[in-house]
């Protein structure tokens, strides 16, 4: 981006400073201050934070429906009229508000229904118990659990549907990325990759040095820059508290959300938790090993999960094997050396999606020694068969890896298993991803798949490797389903 464009909005100007607040709204409506998407002119005709109000109301409708359903089920099981279920509606709405189910979306730049599943389970339990106490009749604990579990599933599904409708009916937030270099590029890529953030990148700007000082002229320049913006993302590696404080003051007045990209990324990134001693915030770094109990539970989960998946998916295995045979008559399975935990080699098992002699054709398509980074992904690989293209699109070729999971070579969730020839080219700072077993799915498969660069793959995987937990595995497994359905990045 040219330098004059980068600094245009924030450069001190000799032009009259734009009006702010109500005056700016009036000028915009009168045409004196041309409005852009999401500008103060639009805000003047809508309530404050109208997008978030709409989302909260849609989520409340979903909660009310499920709370009423839970109450009705409890009433019927207690031999009372189903109309008693209406009494559970205010209980459900009040409980959801108290435990923060309506406020997190407003505060977080990206919040998904799957992030709140444990809280929704607690919510459903509270509503079921409260309904049992309110409704005349008796109901035992077992029946409460039988009502609570489907209620938790139902409220999760309806909330996801409500958020989908909200994104469909509500224009995305016009977003200004204020920064330059790697942090600014990283957040711009995330806006591009994750449509569920519901952001529209209007421009990127490099903060002018003058923004570090306090005077009226630069305040006017900042107001000019924020006009027409719904959210600012500060992605500036050398930003200081004074700049953030000034941005907060302007954003609060102009109804603009503010997010700050941490300058600590990669190996310098702290754990998700931030501790605090009195008024002093502390960033905690994970330097400990995965507890043996966590590793044992994860292995048990892998065994049970892969066995269940193999049993349920056995008809699909048969259908895919027949399709591959009918396509070109070649072998059904494909085996290849991949790098496992601690760089141990193993034979990965996949449904064959390429022609029979695909491995022999690779040197003519890719020169591994000439790669800029130790990865490659051919967007239009001529070796892929017609059946294989469908299998890859929906990740069905990965299903036989469940056998690798049973044998202990892989896990259900983990970093992507890479070819030994590529891993042999890793630099020392890349080898962190070999500290755990590779997975059938994982952060790379969920957060962009083939669209990610090598650096982006490492960035999403280091957080997983350094913070392994069964709960995170469950979240990633759940996120895999919509990622597979969308098929974005699968080629």
For the chain, what is the mean pLDDT?
80
Which two structure tokens, joined as six digits, stand for 453? 């660069």
Average pLDDT over residues 173-199: 87
What are the CA-CA distances from residue 454 to residues 294, 372, 403, 483 (Å)?
29, 10, 27, 19
Asked whether the predicted pLDDT for residue 8 surpasses 70, the reply is no
What are the CA-CA distances from residue 134 to residues 66, 74, 84, 121, 221 (Å)?
17, 10, 8, 20, 58
What are the CA-CA distances from residue 90 to residues 56, 95, 299 (Å)?
15, 8, 42
The rounded distance, in Å, linking the Cα atoms of 173 and 43 is: 12
Over residues 269-289, the pLDDT tens digits come to 666 666 666 566 666 666 666
Asked whether the predicted pLDDT for residue 391 surpasses 60, the reply is yes
Q: Give the confidence band of 22 by pLDDT, cuts at 50, 70, 90.
A: very low
DSSP per-residue letters across 89-107: HHHHHHHHHHTTTTTHHHH
pTM assigned to the model: 0.68
Q: What is the pLDDT of residue 265?
A: 66
Q: Give the confidence band of 28 by pLDDT, cuts at 50, 70, 90.
A: very low
The larger pLDDT score, comparing residue 209 to residue 229, is at 229
Over residues 360-372, the pLDDT tens digits come to 877 777 777 777 7
Angle at 420 between CA 418 and CA 423, to 5 degrees: 70
Over residues 286-303, the pLDDT tens digits come to 666 677 777 888 999 999
Asked whether the predicted pLDDT for residue 39 surpasses 70, the reply is no
Asked whether the predicted pLDDT for residue 433 surpasses 50, the reply is yes
**Which class is 3-16+171-263 in CATH?**
alpha beta
SS3 66: helix
Longest dimension (CA), the chain: 77
Q: What is the pLDDT of residue 42?
A: 47
What are the CA-CA distances from residue 415 to residues 336, 464, 473, 486 (Å)?
17, 8, 12, 20
What are the CA-CA distances from residue 248 to residues 9, 38, 108, 261 (Å)?
18, 19, 16, 14
Domain boundaries, the chain: 3-16+171-263, 50-169, 292-486
Task: Report the Cα–Cα distance between both ends of the chain, in Å, rounded.
Answer: 31
Q: What is the pLDDT of residue 302?
A: 94
The larger pLDDT score, comparing residue 68 to residue 26, is at 68
For residue 338, which phi and psi values (nearest 5 degrees)?
Answer: -130, 160
- Which residues does 448 contact at the CB level (< 8 Å), separation at least 6? 193, 456, 460, 488, 489
Average pLDDT over residues 100-129: 90
Q: What is the pLDDT of residue 393?
A: 85
Q: What is the pLDDT of residue 279?
A: 61
Over residues 464-474, the pLDDT tens digits come to 887 788 888 88
Asked whether the predicted pLDDT for residue 36 surpasses 80, the reply is no
Percent of all residues in the chain with a pLDDT value above 90, rounded to a whole number: 32
Asked whether the predicted pLDDT for residue 388 surpasses 90, the reply is no
Q: What is the pLDDT of residue 491?
A: 55
The rounded distance, in Å, linking the Cα atoms of 139 and 197 is: 42
């Amino acid at each position: 981006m040219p330098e004059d464009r980068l600094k245009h909005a924030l450069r001190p100007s000799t032009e009259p400073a734009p009006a702010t607040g109500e005056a700016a709204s009036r000028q915009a409506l009168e045409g004196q201050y041309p409005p852009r998407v999401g500008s103060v002119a639009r805000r003047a005709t809508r309530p404050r934070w109208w997008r978030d109000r709409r989302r909260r109301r849609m989520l409340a409708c979903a909660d009310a429906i499920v709370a009423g359903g839970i109450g009705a089920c409890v009433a019927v099981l207690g031999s009372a009229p189903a109309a008693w279920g209406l009494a559970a509606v205010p209980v459900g709405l009040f409980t959801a508000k108290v435990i923060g189910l309506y406020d997190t979306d407003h505060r977080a730049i990206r919040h998904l229904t799957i992030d709140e599943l444990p809280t929704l389970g607690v919510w459903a339990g509270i509503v079921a118990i409260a309904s049992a106490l309110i409704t005349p009749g008796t109901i035992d604990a077992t029946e409460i659990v039988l009502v609570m579990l489907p209620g938790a599933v139902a409220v999760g599904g309806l909330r996801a549907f409500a958020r989908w409708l909200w994104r469909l009916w509500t224009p995305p937030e016009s977003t200004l990325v204020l920064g330059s270099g790697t942090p600014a590029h990283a957040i711009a890529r995330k806006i591009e990759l994750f449509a569920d953030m519901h952001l529209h990148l209007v421009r990127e700007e490099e903060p002018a040095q003058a923004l570090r000082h306090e005077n009226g002229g630069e305040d006017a320049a900042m107001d000019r820059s924020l006009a027409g913006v719904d959210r600012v993302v500060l992605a500036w590696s050398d930003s200081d508290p004074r700049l953030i404080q000034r941005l907060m003051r302007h954003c609060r007045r102009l109804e603009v959300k503010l997010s700050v990209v941490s300058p600590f990324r990669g190996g310098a990134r702290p754990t998700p938790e931030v501790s605090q001693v009195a008024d002093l915030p502390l960033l905690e770094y994970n330097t400990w090993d995965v507890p043996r109990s966590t590793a044992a539970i994860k292995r048990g989960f892998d065994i049970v999960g892969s066995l269940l998946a193999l049993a349920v998916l056995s008809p699909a295995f048969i259908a895919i094997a027949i399709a591959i045979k009918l396509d070109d008559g070649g072998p059904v399975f494909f085996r290849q050396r991949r790098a496992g935990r601690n760089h141990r080699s193993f034979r990965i098992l996949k449904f064959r999606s390429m022609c029979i002699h695909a491995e022999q054709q690779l040197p003519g398509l890719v020169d591994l020694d000439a790669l800029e980074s130790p990865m490659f992904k051919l967007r239009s690989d001529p070796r892929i068969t017609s059946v294989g293209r469908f299998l890859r699109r929906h990740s069905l070729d990965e299903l036989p890896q469940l056998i690798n999971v049973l044998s202990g070579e892989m896990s259900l969730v983990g970093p992507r298993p890479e070819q030994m020839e590529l891993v042999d080219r890793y630099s020392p700072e890349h080898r962190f991803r070999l500290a755990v077993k590779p997975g059938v799915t994982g952060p790379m498969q969920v957060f962009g798949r083939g669209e990610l660069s090598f650096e982006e793959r490492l960035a999403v995987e280091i957080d997983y490797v350094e913070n392994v937990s069964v709960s995170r595995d469950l979240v990633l497994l759940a996120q895999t389903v919509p990622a597979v359905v969308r098929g974005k990045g699968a080629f």
